[in-house]
Amino acid sequence: MTRSGRNVLAAVRLAGVVVWVPLSVGFEALLLPVPGVSKIRWTRVVWGGLCLILSVRIRVLGKPVGTVGGVHGRARGERPVIYVSNHSSWLDIPVLGTKIYSVFVAKGDIEKWPIMGLVSKIGRTIFVSRNRATTGHERDEMITRLATGDNLILFPEGTSSDGSRVLPFMSTFFAIAKLPRLPKNSVPAEDMPRYPKGLTPLIQPVSVVYDRLEGLPVNRTTRPVFAWYGDMDLGPHVWQLLKRRTIRATIMLHPPLAPEDFPSRKALANAAWRAVADGAARLRQNAET
């Protein structure tokens, strides 16, 4: 495809995004006050529409252990799930959002992004800061969401990488799965963070790798096309990806981990990291099964 042809393709896709996002997000906003799981289901449609416009094809290996959830799911005893994934691109958000019933936990900066910020906000993303003063409130919101029907997606690396490796997972991200044991009488019983009996969340490690670009296997030379990290500007990176005819992402879902089986948050974080890192390494070798 010629340079002018790629520019036309990118412009058409951008126009599609500009039309799709207000329509789909506007409808989703109408669903927010409606009881039930319709808003959870529709969020997947919103992300899926974006992936379709961008010609991002998604291959899934394994199965999510979480269901659509909702209040009735929790009443049936369905444990909430926290999906923990590697993170190398802004594309990770629509890719995972298309295939997993969940809400994201994301840095507060994302709320200010054009398009992605709007979709994330209406999609009930939990935005977190690095401010210690708000940590307790953010933790309590995540616990409440998990207990009342949502599953969560976290990126425990704490930042995005260049896609060539998975950075170590920060154990603080696992605090909501393995709640701290507070000294007796240190806080009033009603203020202690806790889950309803039997509803402590499972951890499911997830590996995401972009392994096909315009039909060809991705290698060390082409992998940086997807990576968005550090101080890279978002706009130019999005525009370059819009020019690509097709992209394939592979999601590998690993067996879930029960937090109660691990002696500490650090041990849980290390086990999750190992599963994600090993899976990503295998996918980078362009394994088809």
Q: Dump pLDDT digits (tens) for 224-245.
A: 888 887 777 878 888 888 999 9
Does the pLDDT of residue 213 top 80, yes or no? yes
Q: How far is CA 44 from the centre of its chain?
A: 12
- pLDDT, position 254: 98
- pLDDT, position 112: 76
- pLDDT, position 187: 45
pLDDT range class, residue 196, cuts 50, 70, 90: confident
Average pLDDT over residues 106-123: 79
Does the pLDDT of residue 282 top 60, yes or no? yes
Average pLDDT over residues 22-40: 90
Name the nearest CA neighbour of 211 among 239, 240, 252.
252
pLDDT range class, residue 162, cuts 50, 70, 90: confident
pLDDT range class, residue 197, cuts 50, 70, 90: confident
Alpha-carbon distance of 275 to 169, in angstroms, equals: 11
Alpha-carbon distance of 90 to 237, in angstroms, equals: 10
Name the nearest CA neighbour of 268 among 200, 214, 198.
200
Average pLDDT over residues 110-122: 79
- pLDDT, position 180: 61
Residue 41 is inside which H or E element, if any?
A: helix 38-53
- pLDDT, position 248: 96
Does the pLDDT of residue 185 top 70, yes or no? no
Does the pLDDT of residue 35 top 80, yes or no? yes
Collapsing DSSP to helix, strand or coil, 34 comes out as coil
- pLDDT, position 192: 55
Query: In sequence order, which ranges of 81-218 are alpha helices (DSSP H)?
Result: 92-99, 116-122, 132-147
67, 78 Cβ separation under 8 angstroms? yes
pLDDT mean across residues, the chain: 87
Q: Dump pLDDT digits (tens) for 59-76.
A: 999 999 988 888 888 888
pLDDT range class, residue 43, cuts 50, 70, 90: very high
pTM of the model: 0.90
Does the pLDDT of residue 177 top 70, yes or no? yes
Name the nearest CA neighbour of 54 among 285, 237, 252, 288.
237
Q: Which two tokens stand for residue 230?
A: 């550090």
Q: How far is CA 32 from the centre of its chain?
A: 20
Average pLDDT over residues 97-121: 84
Average pLDDT over residues 246-260: 96
- pLDDT, position 61: 97
Domain boundaries, the chain: 3-284
Average pLDDT over residues 195-208: 92
Q: Dump pLDDT digits (tens) for 1-12.
A: 788 889 999 999
- pLDDT, position 159: 82
